[in-house]
Amino acid sequence: MRRRAVSSHELLGLLSELRSNYELREFEVDAGPKMLRVTAPVIDRSALTKATRKSTQHRMDSAELLHGRDGLAPSPEAESAGVPHWSELWPCSRAMAAYFGHCVRMRSVDAIEVRCGLGTAGLGAAAKGARVRLADSDPEALRFARYNALQNGFPHVTTMEFDWKNDRLPGTVGSLIFTDVLHDRESFDHVFRMLRDNLSPGRTAFLAEPGRPVASDFFEELRKTDYRVRLDMERVEDTDSENYYLVSVLRIKKEH
């Protein structure tokens, strides 16, 4: 099926809305054959207050419980106290996009990026031909994820509001994408539940992890399962310095 072209009207409309709420910053992310353009907000105190108010009001209107922190968890090497985690371009997201670009065939695979934040990792999969849904519990994150999909020429990439702690994904998909989600032991249960309930037999989930101490316990639990696991390392440069990070990328294959 031929994919529709990006609507310049929709793209400019979204950009105008984002600019009315935030100062924006632009990044380029290596995704193999494609360099992704990723737009993120510059979160100052006034923007943070506005974003928090909008997110809180959305949850109250939806009769949802306020709990935890939305978006991507911070990498241990980052210091961004008080900043919404979805607003940062974390090393794990960039590593996963690069990994898809250089190491993985994703053509025609149905994939969901869980807790997508800006959508970077999922867009890396889309660049290799995957049919991607970007899922996050924060509507502000989804605004940026949608804009990033459009500005990279992926109008077929969709967004969905999804709280992985409380919502349940119906059915199975060809691939699950997790970037930097192992920030506490409670998150282990959510990953294993989605692997069990939502990953199609014979298909692969991808999980990027930046070196959190707690992740070693997850790896130990994963060894006790019958999933086939492959571990690779991806090097990514820091966006603001000459430093680099080594990110673990796990391929978790569900045999049956």
Contacts of residue 32, Cβ cutoff 8 Å, sequence gap at least 6:
98, 100, 101, 102, 124, 127, 128
How far is residue 180's CA from residue 86's CA, in Å, rounded to a whole number?
11
Least confident of 36-50, 174-188, 200-214: 36-50
Percent of the chain residues topping a pLDDT of 70 = 83
**Mean pLDDT of the region 108-129:** 96
Residue 72's pLDDT is: 36
Residue 15's pLDDT is: 95
- pTM for the model: 0.85
Residue 54's pLDDT is: 57
Q: Is the predicted pLDDT of residue 66 greater than 90, yes or no?
A: no
**3 state DSSP class of 160:** strand
Residue 83's pLDDT is: 72
Whether the CB-CB separation of 198 and 169 falls below 8 Å is answered with yes
Residue 104's pLDDT is: 92
pLDDT tens figures, 137-157: 999 999 999 999 999 999 999
Residue 61's pLDDT is: 52
**Which pair of tokens denotes residue 201?**
């037999």
Identify the residue with better confidence: 73 or 93.
Answer: 93
Q: E-assigned strands of 50-188?
A: 110-114, 131-136, 158-161, 175-179
Q: What's 173's DSSP letter?
A: B
Q: Is the predicted pLDDT of residue 212 greater than 50, yes or no?
A: yes
Phi, psi torsion values for 64, nearest 5 degrees = -95, 150
How far is residue 256's CA from residue 248's CA, in Å, rounded to a whole number?
25
Residue 210's pLDDT is: 93
